[in-house]
Amino acid sequence: MITRRFIQLCIYLLVRSSFIWSTGNCSIGDSASSQVVDSPNPSSISRNDKAFSPTKQYLMQSYYDRYTSLHDSDFENFISQEVTSSLCEVLPENHNSVLRLSVLRRDLVGEGSHRRVSTLIKLQTQQLKSLSELLSYSCEFIVIERLPSGVFADPFELQHLAQRGVFNDIAVFGDTNLELPSFLSNRSAVEIHLDVDPTTLLQPTDFSIEFPLHARYQPLNESGYSIVEFGAPDMLLRCSTKEKAQNSNCLFKLKNDDGNLYNVGLVWRIPSGKKAHSDLVSTVTFLIAFLSALVILVTSLHYFNSRVRKDLKQS
């Protein structure tokens, strides 16, 4: 037991020292942070000035202004309050009778620890006079993906997607520390904004969303896998007008139980280590780290000695 702990301590010190002496490391944040990594320097945006605009109103930003971490009950109460306070006179109070979800299909694309979440959404509308009045509004579709603690979205990857015009706006909120294992990390959420032409709301329409996710380091499991489950995304429609009049902004949520659902509860089997292999892995890792450090030391000494001999010859 003492030998095992000594080996683990040596591995930690070697890895820690390699990080200290390495260059180009980027610190993202700690697990308790509730930050959003969404707005690069405005002067650096050339292709898509609209992407990651800091003036964009993110719902998750408002959520984290009130709460320090992501909990489903808090989030559902928050969304309920936001929808209630953002009703408008254009649509009837029961807006689900006008615009409703008809199909929601979810898939995990790829294998291993780096995959993509694909979501197909189909909307069904009814030809009502109130819906046609939305033509004078500017609308956007908002999708919020509440991620379990076992996975994370890389904010820099999502930033590139927005700059390429894949999404109108996209941001990560919550725990954005990419290096923490799952048992030390908090949950995060991805918020996606898609511009919607109000004329498309007058007829059935569909669109798909796909973005990359990565698995965090999982705790040891004798089965060799950890199970991470996803819930259905939150889908909202927000419309606004340039007029600064009362009730000029509308926000309403689409109910998941109104449509045909396919694979909504995604399950990701993430590879993890086995406890039975921990001693062997620790020993091999220590030997490799020790030999690597020894090679670096010998090479450095050889280089130093050769430089000294060369300087002596020149003098």
Q: Tens-of-pLDDT digits for all 315 residues of the chain?
A: 444 555 555 544 444 444 333 333 333 233 334 344 443 333 333 333 333 333 347 999 999 999 999 999 999 999 888 876 666 655 555 555 567 777 788 999 998 889 999 999 888 776 555 566 666 677 888 999 999 989 999 999 999 998 998 888 999 999 988 888 888 899 999 999 998 887 777 778 888 999 999 999 888 888 888 899 998 899 988 887 756 555 467 788 887 666 677 878 889 998 888 878 888 888 999 999 999 999 999 999 988 888 877 777 777
Q: Are 211 and 192 in contact (CB under 8 A)?
A: yes
- The full DSSP string for 192-214 is EEEEE-GGGGGS-EEEEEEEEEE
Position 172 scores a pLDDT of 94
The span from the CA of 233 to the CA of 129, in Å, is 29
The span from the CA of 235 to the CA of 120, in Å, is 12
Position 80 scores a pLDDT of 87
Position 34 scores a pLDDT of 39
Exposed, middle or buried, 301 (CB in 10 Å: 0-12/13-18/19+)? exposed
Position 202 scores a pLDDT of 74
Reported pTM: 0.70
Position 37 scores a pLDDT of 41
Position 81 scores a pLDDT of 86
Position 243 scores a pLDDT of 61
